[in-house]
């Protein structure tokens, strides 16, 4: 039986003061019911997360990772550094990185591998643009994105990722995929995981991301292949984030 997981993606938001207030609010509101949860924060705030969240029910992680283990790569942050701050998760392949930093499927796969090699759990994001959906290419696009990761990781390691389906047209737009639309893609992704590793595909958590809010979270997470959410805007308000966590209760 898969547990539900809700992960906040803070993107490039926050300050020491705002983070402390947000995390305080989340910790104060957690009551042991609902989904497991984590926050993926800008790298400079990982130390603060470690200080404020260690020993709590909230895990933390980063939003990107280098492909290389260390060395002359100015500006990069490697997986071992994330481990040094006790991260559990790292997001790889978010559509904003694919779009603004030209990250290819092959590069995202290498980032997922670097994370796993260091003992982190990569949250691998896949998703189609509106134009791709309208052209009937959704399954081909997300299939190729996941396929590149599975091909590099191989059947054993593939079972250790978290996958997140994030239709690009739903991110930060207020437009959400209907539960049926999301479930259709999630089921296809799980079928692809099954082809890679039939035994462990049932254990891989597949999150949905794209304008998830307390009001729509319950119906989305009631779908059989939706195992939680990757949350952007609504993760920046404790009450909204808690509302999504509790939506699975
Ligand atoms: C995201 O960026 O991962 C995301 C899901 O954003 P939002 O919830 O704001 O659509």
The residue whose CB lies within 8 Å of the most ligand 1 atoms, and thus the one to mutate among 7, 9, 97, 170, is 9
What is d(CA 68, CA 64) in angstroms, rounded to the nearest whole number?
A: 12
The catalytically annotated residue of 103, 128, 166, 186 is 166
Query: Domain 5-216, what fold?
Result: TIM Barrel (3.20.20)
Q: Which atom of ligand 1 is nearest to the CA of 96?
A: 2
In 3-state terms, the chain is what percent helix, strand and coil (to 5)? Answer: 50, 15, 35
Residue nearest to atom 2 of ligand 1 (CA): 232
Which residues, listed in sequence order, are joined to residue 60 by a DSSP beta bridge?
39
pLDDT for residue 217 = 97
The secondary structure of 87-101, three-state, reads: CCEEEECCHHHHHHC
Q: Which two tokens mark 60?
A: 């933390």
- Which is nearest to 166 in space by CA: 249, 236, 99, 79? 99
Burial class (CB in 10 A: 0-12, 13-18, 19+), 83: middle
Counts for the chain of helices (H) and strands (E), in that order: 10, 8
Residue nearest to atom 1 of ligand 1 (CA): 232
Phi, psi angle pair for 103, to nearest 5°:
-70, 125
Residue nearest to atom 8 of ligand 1 (CA): 232
Give catalytic status of residue 186 as yes or no: no
Give catalytic status of residue 94 as yes or no: yes
Domain residue limits, the chain: 5-216
pLDDT for residue 249 = 63
What is d(CA 233, CA 222) in angstroms, rounded to the nearest whole number?
A: 21
Please tell me the pTM assigned to this model: 0.97
Residues of the chain with pLDDT under 50: none
57 Cα: distance to centroid of ligand 1 (angstroms):
22
Query: Residue 155 to residues 45, 118, 119, 141, 150: CA-CA distances in angstroms?
Result: 34, 18, 17, 21, 7
Element (H, E) at 33: none
């Amino acid at each position: 039986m898969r547990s539900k997981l809700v992960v906040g993606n803070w993107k490039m938001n926050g300050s020491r003061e705002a983070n402390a207030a947000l995390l305080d609010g989340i910790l104060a509101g957690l009551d042991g019911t609902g989904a497991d949860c984590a926050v993926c924060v800008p790298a400079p705030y990982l130390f603060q997360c470690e200080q404020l969240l260690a020993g709590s029910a909230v895990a933390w992680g980063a939003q990107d990772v280098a492909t290389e283990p260390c060395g002359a790569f100015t500006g990069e942050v490697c997986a071992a550094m994330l481990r040094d701050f006790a991260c559990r998760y790292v997001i790889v392949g978010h559509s904003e990185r694919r779009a603004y930093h030209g990250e290819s499927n092959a590069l995202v796969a290498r980032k997922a591998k670097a994370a796993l090699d260091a003992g982190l759990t990569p949250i691998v994001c896949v998703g189609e643009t509106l134009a791709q959906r309208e052209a009937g290419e959704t399954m081909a696009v997300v299939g190729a994105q996941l396929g590149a990761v599975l091909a590099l990781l191989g059947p054993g390691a593939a079972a250790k990722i978290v996958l997140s389906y994030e239709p690009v047209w739903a991110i930060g737009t207020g437009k959400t995929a209907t539960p049926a639309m999301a479930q259709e893609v999630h089921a296809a992704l799980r079928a692809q995981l099954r082809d890679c590793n039939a035994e462990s595909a049932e254990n891989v958590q597949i999150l949905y991301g794209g304008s998830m809010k307390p009001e729509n979270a319950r119906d989305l997470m009631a779908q059989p292949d939706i195992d939680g959410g990757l949350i952007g805007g609504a993760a920046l308000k404790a009450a909204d984030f808690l509302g999504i966590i509790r939506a699975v209760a």
